[in-house]
Amino acid sequence: MSENITVSGQAATTYQNAGRIFKSFFEEIGNVIVGQNRVVEQIVIAILCEGHALVESNPGLGKTLMISTVSKAMNLKFSRIQCTPDLMPSDITGTNVIEETDHKKEFRFQPGPIFSNVVLADEINRASPKTQSALLEAMQEKQVTVGNDTFLLDSPFFILATQNPIEMEGTYPLPEAQLDRFLLKILVDYPSYEEEMEIINRYTKSEVPKISRALDKTTLLDLQKLTRQVPISEELKQRVLNIVGMTRKDKERIEYGASPRASIGLILAAKARALIEGRNFVSKEDIDYMAYPVLRHRLILTFEAERSGITPDQVIEDIIKKVK
């Protein structure tokens, strides 16, 4: 890649082999997941950026299988949290338990499922606000606080949260402050006819597809560092700021625009996509492609826009066309 990226040691080896690593990784994922290439790519982009992702889709489209497959291919510890209204923060973070040793009783911390590298928070909008706030600290600070003690989470740490858009009864919509903590909002659509036929053929046999490790934790940490070193021109930085700035000026359709966190996220996401594509620079296409998952959950549309059936993606598309 470019001479602007300075690496040494093991990171240099990872850098030179990045193309082969990603090719092998996505091929391994394809042994289990049929189609959904865009979704898998965006999940990996979020991990490379050390961010988190919110996935929205109808039930039964393989979200759980997808994220567990990614974690297995990366040889990372995986845990799944099924969010329900009665889920307590301690059910996620862990709690102090009394343990008797040598005729003495003492408190010992029992870690919860948040102490994993990849955490799937299924139907996060069913969790109470109190439990959602516990996830918020873990997402932002990469740590959890139990009583007077603070525990750091292992690195890499990634939360993939899902929500079901067609069942809103008994749910707690995520507050804007927590939505902003997600780097990407990824939409999962139904598979094509050919893809669904392959799913049927693959998962109605006596043996289900299995996956092997495609990269290790050390390589992933190197790739995360390399992502931040991918060069981006001043011109494209200005394009990012113009796109984000336009979300704050379109008062007819957008009540509240994106925060500076969106500008940071869009540049990082574009860098990660360039790295995956095997390029040593960020292109205009990277910016425009990643603008949708980075911005769609950060825009609060006006009542008139929502009543007219306008979606955040339509607004983003119009903004991209206007920005030079």
> In a structure prediction context, what are the per-residue pLDDT tens digits for the chain, which is 324 residues long?
444 565 556 666 666 677 788 888 888 888 888 888 888 899 999 999 988 899 888 777 777 888 888 888 888 888 888 888 888 888 888 877 777 777 777 777 778 888 888 888 888 888 888 888 778 778 888 888 777 778 888 888 888 888 877 666 666 777 777 788 889 999 888 888 988 898 888 888 777 777 777 677 888 888 888 888 888 999 999 999 999 999 988 888 888 888 899 999 999 999 999 988 888 889 999 999 999 999 998 888 888 888 888 888 999 999 999 887
The overall longest dimension of the chain from CA atoms, in Å, is 73
pLDDT given for residue 10 in this prediction: 65
Report yes or no: 117 and 76 within 8 Å, Cβ to Cβ: yes
Residue 115: closest CA among 147, 133, 90, 88: 90
CA 57 to centroid of chain Cα atoms: 14
Give the whole-angstrom CA distance, residue 29 versus residue 26.
5
244 closest CA partner among 230, 258, 233, 254: 258
Query: What integer pLDDT is reported at residue 7 of this predicted model?
Result: 59
Question: Whole-model pTM?
Answer: 0.85
Residue 212, exposed/middle/buried by CB under 10 A (0-12, 13-18, 19+)?
exposed
Residue 169: the pLDDT is 64
DSSP state of 190: P
Q: Which residues pair with 97 in a beta bridge?
A: 108
Map residue 300 onto helix, strand or coil: strand
Is 28:210 a contact under the CB 8 Å cutoff? Answer: no
Q: What integer pLDDT is reported at residue 167 of this predicted model?
A: 62
Rounded CA gap, 290 and 232, in Å?
Answer: 14
The CATH class given to the 229-323 domain equals mainly alpha
The fold adopted by the segment(s) 13-228 is: Rossmann fold (3.40.50)
Q: Which is it for the CA torsion 43, 47, 49, 54, positive or negative?
A: positive
**β-sheet bridge partners, residue 145:** 150
Which residue carries 């010992």 as its tokens? Answer: 108
* Alpha-carbon distance values, 107 to 101, 113, 145, 312 (Å): 10, 19, 16, 49
| 158-163 and 118-122 strand pairing | parallel
Helix (DSSP H) and strand (DSSP E) numbers for the chain: 14, 11
Contact 215, 25 (CB under 8 A): yes
What are the extents of the domains in the chain?
13-228, 229-323
Distance CA(92)–CA(115), nearest Å, equals 9
Within 10 Å of residue 278's Cβ, how many Cβ atoms? 12
C-alpha to C-alpha distance for 102 and 49, rounded to whole angstroms: 47
